[in-house]
Amino acid sequence: MRLSFAALLSLLISPALAHDGTYMGVGGVTCSEWILRGASMPTKLEQEGWIFGYASGVNAASPTDFLLKADSVAMLLFVDTWCAKNPDKKLVEAANELLSVLKDKSR
């Protein structure tokens, strides 16, 4: 069986296969830092932009467009809620949880 490059890339970066690696940008900050982002507008825009960029990158490599009906405000609210419950976790973990929910909703 032959996998397309996009399908293979999707498998490699699937949230289920996520690991504690290096993430460019602010993906490695803690959820407690995410919660405090409102104090600095540049930080807020950078962190929120990272969420959307990360989601878009995973979506581009996915065989299905799970962001087609996604709501950006609801996405940020999900991360806010998840991070409030998990302040010591990394932002990338919150993003992976978000992507898992969005993928499930798109099925």
Asked whether residue 4 is assigned to any structural domain, the reply reads: no
Q: How far apart are CA 92 and CA 19, in angstroms?
A: 10
* 76 within a domain of the structure (yes/no): yes
How big is the chain, counted in residues?
107
Domain that holds residue 63: 26-106
Residues 6 or more apart from 37 whose CB is under 8 A from it?
Answer: 43, 44, 47, 48
Q: Does residue 72 belong to any structural domain of this protein?
A: yes
Q: pLDDT tens digits for 52-68?
A: 999 999 999 999 999 99
Query: Does the residue 90 lie in any domain?
Result: yes
pLDDT band at residue 70 under the 50/70/90 scheme? very high
| Confidence at 21, pLDDT banded by 50, 70, 90 | low
Q: CA-to-CA distance for 14 and 85, rounded, in angstroms?
A: 23
pLDDT exceeds 60 at position 15: no
The answer to whether residue 85 is domain-embedded is yes
pTM: 0.78
First vs last C-alpha separation in the chain: 23
Residue matched to tokens 């991070």: 83
Q: What's the mean pLDDT when you consider all of the chain?
A: 83
Residue 10, in any domain of the structure: no
Structural domain contains residue 6? no
User: Dihedrals φ, ψ of 6, to 5°?
Assistant: -60, -40
Domain presence at residue 47 = yes
| Residue pLDDT, tens place only, 86-99 | 999 999 999 999 99
Tell whether the model's pLDDT for residue 39 goes beyond 70: no
Query: Tokens in use for 51?
Result: 């969420």
Number of domains in the chain: 1
